[in-house]
Amino acid sequence: QKEVEQDPGPLSVPEGAIVSLNCTYSNSAFQYFMWYRQYSRKGPELLMYTYSSGNKEDGRFTAQVDKSSKYISLFIRDSQPSDSATYLCAMRRTGNQFYFGTGTSLTVIP
Amino acid sequence: DTEVTQTPKHLVMGMTNKKSLKCEQHMGHRAMYWYKQKAKKPPELMFVYSYEKLSINESVPSRFSPECPNSSLLNLHLHALQPEDSALYLCASSQALAGISEQFFGPGTRLTVL
């Protein structure tokens, strides 16, 4: 079983829709949770970072962590065509190793 | 400044060539990483340097040789690569070890091995 599971999609939504992206994990030692956005042929860009259960909001993005269910989500409100990218979740225990999901490919249709 | 820079952006090399990839950050981060990413796959960890010392080597073939000359620079020396080594090579940095720390990525070097 992989440490981090993420549905690869692809996910296609109309402009303005609310998008929900999810990851599950198996190791309860994970403490830090990140979401990255990666455009084609570019490096991942850090979108959201959180270390506790609950919600964290930044503009149109909300990161949600449920440690009891080992489940994290990223919500994108009022989605735009510029949000079309691959979204990677990542997590970390203590130490310097980060564990990535496989990424979800999102297309927002104008 | 949350920028990690990488050079070159693109590199084409033959299997007998020797080349180097370079990475630089000025965020005061003491952990630096090399990842390899194939198309439609997540980044795959290769090496981690912590305080300029190699702390993680994920069983990477010896044709890849990392070097950390100082706390801001990270190199990846390439020699006798294979076509299957063609990929996007990503550098990243974070604050080291204990405590909360995000990881920031550079734009990557797209490597093609002929």
3-state secondary structure of A6: strand
3-state secondary structure of A47: strand
Q: Return the SS3 of B110.
A: strand
What number of residues does chain B have?
A: 114
Strands B104-105 and B18-25: unpaired
B42 touching chain A per CB within 8 A: yes
Distance CA B96, CA A65 (A): 24
Please write the tens of the pLDDT for every residue from A74-107. Answer: 999 999 999 999 999 999 887 778 899 999 999 9
Instruction: Find all residues with CB under 8 Å of B62, minimum gap 6, and list them.
Output: none
Which residue, chain included where needed, has tokens 């960890």? Answer: B45
Q: How far is B49 from chain A (nearest CA, A)?
A: 9
B63, B14, B10, B56: which is closest to B35 by C-alpha? B56
Percent of chain B with pLDDT over 70: 93
pLDDT tens digits for range B22-60: 999 999 999 999 999 998 899 999 999 989 999 888 889
Is residue B106 within 8 A of residue B72, CB to CB? The reply is: no
For chain A, positions 36-75, list CB contacts with chain B under 8 A: 36, 41-46, 49, 51
pLDDT of residue B59: 86
Q: How far apart are CA B75 and CA B86, in angstroms?
A: 17
- Of A7-11, A70-74, A91-95, the one with minimum mean pLDDT is A91-95
- The token pair at A17 is 């829709």
Q: Which of B105, B111, B112 to mutate to test the interface with A (most CBs of A within 10 A)?
A: B105
| Closest Cα in chain A, distance from residue B98 (Å) | 6
Collect all residues of chain B within an 8 Å Cβ-Cβ radius of residue A36: 105
CB contact under 8 A, A98 and B98: no
Distance CA A19, CA B24 (A): 35
Place of tokens 């269910």: A69
Average pLDDT, chain A: 93
Q: Within an 8 Å CB–CB cutoff, is residue B27 touching chain A?
A: no
Residues 6+ apart with CB under 8 A from B59: none
Mean pLDDT, to the nearest integer, of B81-102? 85
Contact B42 A103 (CB under 8 A): yes
For residue A8, the 8-state DSSP code is -
